[in-house]
Structure 1
Amino acid sequence: MGELIAELMPLLTDGFVRRWHVARVRRRLAAGKPVRLPCSARSDRPGWQHRYTNGRLDVTPGAAAVTFRARGARPLELPTGGTFHEPEPDTWHSQDWAATGYQPPGGGRQVYLQLDSRYLPSVHLALAGPDFRTA
């Protein structure tokens, strides 16, 4: 019985914990404090893995770039001020997460991000520009 309860606990508590973390992220961003968002990223850039890699986005309000960090991989800098495009549904890492394509300003290769759909508005605002709190 204990094993069954242990397997059900993550399913029952994930929604609450995720909702709490999303609210915390929004409060911290509104206060101008840095946050970390769990996500997966894929890019065709040289030196980057061509498959989705689990990691996090480090967002600092007012910074000119957002950094994706993953264990065992070098950081990927995403300059702010780019545009968002449709995702690539055939290669999604997880169907439970929302995906979006981000085209950095001034060209460059597109980066595909996947994260919980509740974080998407925060990511869109963070990558919109250096002063995203006024948006």
Structure 2
Amino acid sequence: MGEFLGELATLFADGAFRRWHVARTRRRLAAGRPVRVPCSARSDRAGWQRAYVNGTLDITPGAATAAFGERGGDRLQLPTGGSFHEPEPDTWYDQDWAATCYLPPDGGEPVHLQVDSRYLPLVHVTLADPKSQQKV
């Protein structure tokens, strides 16, 4: 019974923490400050792993690029201003996270991203329409 209660406590604490972090991320973006969004990414680019890798998406409002980085690993630069498309659902890394496919504006290889569904609208706006996030 104690193990079950421990699992429930973790489940509810994670949800509350995630809601707080999403609200904090929104406030920082609105203030024009850089944010880090936890996510997983996969790309077909040369030299990049073909499997999903956990890391963070570093976003600076109004910047020309965003960067995905794994802990202690390479950084993948993503030019902003691209478009989003639906990914292939049979290769999703984690079914609990929302997945999307980002196509850079320069016609480069697509990057498949997975983020908690509460972060997905923030990621869409900041990558596809960076000018809307510029501080006036």
Give the TM interval when normalised to the shorter protein: over 0.9
CA contact (8 A) 1:64 1:129 kept: no
Q: Deviations over 1:20-61 (max 9, x none)?
A: 111110000000001000000000000100000000000011
Task: Give 1:126's aligned amino acid.
Answer: T
CA contact (8 A) 1:40 1:53 kept: yes
CA contact (8 A) 2:84 2:128 kept: no
User: What is the number of residues matched between the two proteins?
Assistant: 134
SS of structure 2 residue aligned to 1:66: strand
- Which residue does 2:61 correspond to in 1? 61
| Runs of 4+, deviation exceeding 6 Å | none
Q: TM-score, normalised by structure 2?
A: 0.92
5+ residue gaps, structure 2, are none
Task: Give 1:23's aligned amino acid.
Answer: A
Distance 1:55 1:73 in 2: 9
5+ residue gaps, structure 1, are none
Distance 1:35 1:49 in 2: 24
Check if 1:106 corresponds to 2:97: no
- Which residue does 2:30 correspond to in 1? 30
Distance 2:25 2:2 in 1: 34
SS of structure 2 residue aligned to 1:76: strand
Cα deviation, residue 72, structure 1: 3.8
Q: TM-score, normalised by structure 1?
A: 0.93
Cα deviation, residue 88, structure 1: 1.2
Residues 14-29 of structure 1 aligned to structure 2 (within 5 Å):
14-29=14-29
